[in-house]
């Protein structure tokens, strides 16, 4: 993909249970680049000294009522530290070449870079409930509650660190509904990226 010397970055935001992480990996494979997802949190933990468990849960934890109010009010120094470190890690990885980033507000971190393709992945609630129920081995009812909690957390996290509304169409270049399937979604995104770069 970089034979024309065009460095590019695919940033993926996703609803919980929509298959975003799996799709990100498949898109990276199709484009012949690296995909960074949980590895960003591992690197961030090493940079900050903050426990990996805290870093990984930084998005999800803000859905907790106690943390949620403090987080939105800017009182959580730990989350600010983690977010700042996330940004530094993402920029460092971006300098190595084209890649796919899943989550961590990467589209905002790279907002001043060229060839950033911003993707949002969603799915019908019944598909998400089934995926989460099977993946976490919990009941559909429990899955529904977990989905609501995580979506609320991701929305709050995105709003705080980007000032924008999570999932709003104008903040993305392409929105994919994974009701068409994970593999087809990955192909659509990869083809979109290729067309995007061809027309640059």
**How many CB atoms sit inside 10 A of residue 60's CB?**
17
Report how far residue 135's alpha carbon sits from residue 102's, in angstroms, rounded to the nearest whole number. 19
Query: Per the structure, how many domains does the chain have?
Result: 1
Check residues 59 and 176 and name the one with the higher pLDDT: 176
Does residue 102 lie in a domain region?
yes
CATH code of the domain containing 141: 3.40.50.300
Report pLDDT digits (tens) over 20-54. Answer: 999 999 999 999 999 998 755 555 555 555 555 65
Instruction: Tell me if 15 is assigned to some domain.
Output: yes
On whether the CB atoms of residues 20 and 182 are closer than 8 A, the answer is: no
pTM of the entire predicted model = 0.83
Q: Which domain holds residue 176?
A: 9-198
**Better-predicted residue by pLDDT, 48 or 78:** 78
- Output the pLDDT for position 57: 54
Q: What is the pLDDT of residue 157?
A: 83
Q: What would the pLDDT profile of 58-76 be if each residue is shown by its tens digit?
A: 555 544 443 444 544 554 5
145, part of any domain:
yes
In a domain, 144, yes or no: yes
């Amino acid at each position: 993909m970089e034979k024309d010397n065009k460095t590019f970055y695919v940033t993926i935001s996703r609803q919980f249970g929509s298959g975003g992480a799996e799709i990100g990996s498949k898109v990276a494979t199709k484009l012949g680049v690296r995909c960074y997802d949980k590895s960003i949190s591992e690197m961030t933990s090493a940079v900050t000294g903050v426990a990996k468990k805290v870093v990984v849960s930084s998005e999800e934890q803000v859905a907790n009522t106690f943390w949620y109010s403090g987080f939105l009010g800017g009182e959580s120094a730990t989350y600010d530290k983690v977010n700042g470190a996330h940004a530094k890690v993402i920029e460092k990885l971006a300098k190595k070449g084209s890649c796919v980033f899943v989550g961590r507000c990467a589209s905002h971190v790279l907002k001043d870079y060229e060839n950033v393709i911003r993707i949002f992945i969603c799915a019908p609630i019944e598909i998400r409930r089934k995926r989460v129920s099977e993946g976490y081995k919990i009941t559909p009812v429990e899955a529904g509650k977990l989905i609501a909690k995580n979506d609320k957390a991701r929305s709050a996290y995105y709003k705080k660190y980007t000032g924008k509304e999570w999932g709003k169409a104008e903040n993305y270049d392409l929105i994919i509904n994974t009701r068409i399937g994970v593999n087809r979604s990955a192909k659509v995104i990869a083809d979109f990226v290729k067309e995007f770069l061809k027309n640059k």
